[in-house]
Chains A and B, each alone.
Chain A
């Protein structure tokens, strides 16, 4: 990594101080909505609205116990399990199918590779809505509406081209000699994929897994269309139902539930931020 600061120009200390002050100020503004969310989730009902104070005068933990009861007689535990099931299935599907397709595009030769690769890239730009309604009809015909299949099955068919592209980019960086050595040792494409290439692709696979988890967790549109029984709801859908069902007085419990829904993403971010940030950086630069 080259630091691109011009060596000729001496760095002035006050400039650097100003830079840090500016960045910290920006950070404070940016973190405000998160602080607001956390504070409001602990506020008593009468302090929620029309109060400029960020911090509650006393901590109203009952907001959380109300939130844990869930919505429409479905507990938060159940909603959490539903969300985890969908996100978990999506992660397994994406990692498996996208790495298989990426290996073929990055390392194998076959007819129409160029045009198919171009098509795959083009589907990154394809608006989801252009395929949404027929997909809905297909899943409806298969009796899969109001089940988790429409949310999970597509991930096993490498429909998220962004991740295929991400893994292709990574695999292209691995040295050719690895497979040659494997071939001399008698490995066919399958064994060299599983034993040589896949283990070395681990950083890209982890990035894929984490992004898939977070994006599936955050997804609202697909869940809104395919799921309608309250006991099948995810946390995201339940949150929306919460808003519809409750008046402003239950602001506290609603935002307690928002915090619960956000928690897994925050934890994932704190644990894997290096993979996330670098995964995002590498997806664009070499394009």
Chain B
């Protein structure tokens, strides 16, 4: 595994098991390589986490020193702030709509591409393109215009402008996310191509239908990748910001229907200068994402199947 314990036949100089000072020098070298990361982890991750926890118990406007208010930010958030709950509902609705749709589409397209002999590389790249472009402000603005009153979707289907309807605006944002199914699709496809073909051959010889092959070979063999995509996309969906900001011009409207959690956090912290309140919101988000990830990991034991358990 490591360079320090390599039994070599050649007694060339420097190959003998390293002496204690040599080992210490090696250890020292490792820390030199790590130093930027260690500095970043301490100053830009651990310290800020501690500070934001502290600030969440204070009133702080960036100019006056923070004043301790105990749990008031949290109680206010949970009991006196209807906008907070609307942002929670909007975010959860969005996660529950966008993530499954996106993953289902990604898997369907990956399955279609897998059985292709020609053109697979072309489609793979073409379907992946929106994943890069879609995160931009440019495309978010296109979305707003296309789903607006008199926009293409309205003209085609007479929907009357989803971005102006409280019940539909969120769905327009979710569609933008679904449109970016290329990134999980690429990961699904790579996973599918690693499943040994012999498994399917054996199953076909035994007379297993396509559906049974899918349920009993593809899904179990793909489950680690499915799990990876599920965790990653869920975490990202909780933090969505740019499209909601663009579609609602930063307001989270109509009727707070696209007031996503991060948008409200930005509004409280950087528009209204309630840094303490925003910090409390950030910590709740951190705990919720941690809890969701933990639950996903726990349930994964029952459905994620690792072919080479010993290697891991």
Query: Interface of A with B (CB < 8 Å)?
Result: 1-9, 16, 19-20, 22-23, 26-27, 30-31, 33-34, 36-37, 40, 49-50, 52, 96-97, 100-101, 103-104, 107-111, 116, 119-120, 123, 125-135, 137-138, 140, 154, 156-159, 164, 176, 179-180, 183-184, 186, 188-190, 193, 214-215, 217-218, 220-221, 224-225, 236, 239-240, 243-244, 251, 254-255, 258-259, 261-262, 265-266, 269, 273-274, 276-277, 280-285, 287
Contact = CB atoms under 8 A, between A and B. Distances in A.
Contact of A186 (B14, B52, B55): B14
A261 B32 CA distance: 39
B215 interface: no
A221 to B, nearest CB: 5
Interface string B108-148: 01001111110100011111111111011111011101100
Given A5-B115, A30-B179, A261-B136, A133 B282 contact: yes
Given A33-B143, A134-B47, A285-B187, A183 B128 contact: no
A180 B3 CA distance: 7
A interface SS class: helix
B53 to A, nearest CB: 9
Given A127-B285, A220-B241, A2 B197 contact: yes
Contact of A27 (B36, B116, B127, B146): B127
A37 B262 CA distance: 27
Closest 9 CB pairs of A and B: A157-B40, A134-B48, A284-B187, A258-B138, A281-B190, A134-B51, A101-B37, A131-B48, A110-B30
A25 B283 CA distance: 44
A52 B265 CA distance: 38
Contacts of B194: 2, 285
Given A20-B119, A127-B282, A255-B142, A2 B193 contact: yes
B186 A180 contact: no
